[in-house]
Amino acid sequence: MLKNSMQYSHIVLQEIINKGDNVIDATMGNGHDTQFLAKSVGATGHVYAFDIQQDAINHTKDRLTQLDLISQTTLINDSHSKIDNYVSNPISAAIFNLGYLPGNNKSIITHFSTTIPAINSCLRLLKVGGRIAVVCYYGHPGGKDELDHITHYLSQIEQQEFSVLRYEFLNQINQPPILLIIEKK
């Protein structure tokens, strides 16, 4: 089976993450990606994970503690637009899961006015060969607007410095997420 956007985001990040790397989970949510990243960087690496909702921090803390992955993780209860305040080391990878926290308040959604600055911070921190995966859910109100702004922004970044790939299923009525991958050359 062809990989869906979420599965493919993990594959393309797994290809370039090494033990000991610093990485960012820009949208912690229920901590699935944080777990994946913490396992990938190992005990000698570090994951900086962001979310504005305390629920996300709590769920992720429980999850990672149970899996003995908490020591290589910093859970940050702040907007991903403030990444620069918390991370200064070069990163090999970052992941964004845009939309709303599943099972939670659907009125709290990500918005391009903060996700684009956050992506921009990650671009500046990214090492050569590093990748950023942006999984865009866009079926909810405001989702298409965010996707369009991010796509426009990424279409114009310097092609000498970055490649931007769009990975999208076309014939699905339920608007599955679209994956954007940025790689630093």
Give min distance, CB of 30 to a copy of itself, in A: 26
Q: Establish if 54 lies at the interface with a copy of itself (CB under 8 A).
A: no
Q: Establish if 157 lies at the interface with a copy of itself (CB under 8 A).
A: yes
d(C-alpha 170, C-alpha 150), whole Å: 19
Secondary structure of residue 136 in the 3-state scheme:
strand
Residue in 114, 111, 136, 132 with CA at minimum distance from that of residue 122: 132
Cα-Cα-Cα-Cα dihedral sign, residues 38, 40, 42, 45: negative
Which helix (H) or strand (E) segment is 40 a member of? helix 32-41
Q: Select 107 or 170, whichever has its Cβ closest to a copy of itself.
A: 170
Give min distance, CB of 161 to a copy of itself, in A: 10
Q: Establish if 7 lies at the interface with a copy of itself (CB under 8 A).
A: no
Q: Select 2 or 54, whichever has its Cβ closest to a copy of itself.
A: 2
- Cβ within 8 Å of residue 84, ≥6 positions away: 121
Write the binding mask 158 to 177 for a copy of itself: x where contact by CB under 8 A, - elsewhere: xx--xxxxxxxxxxxx----
Residue among 146, 155, 175, 177 that touches a copy of itself (CB under 8 A): 155
The sheet with strand 22-25 has its strands ordered as 73-76, 46-50, 22-25, 91-98, 126-136, 178-184
Give min distance, CB of 166 to a copy of itself, in A: 5
Interactions with a copy of itself, residue window 105-144 (CB under 8 A): 131
Residue among 10, 12, 118, 135 that touches a copy of itself (CB under 8 A): 12
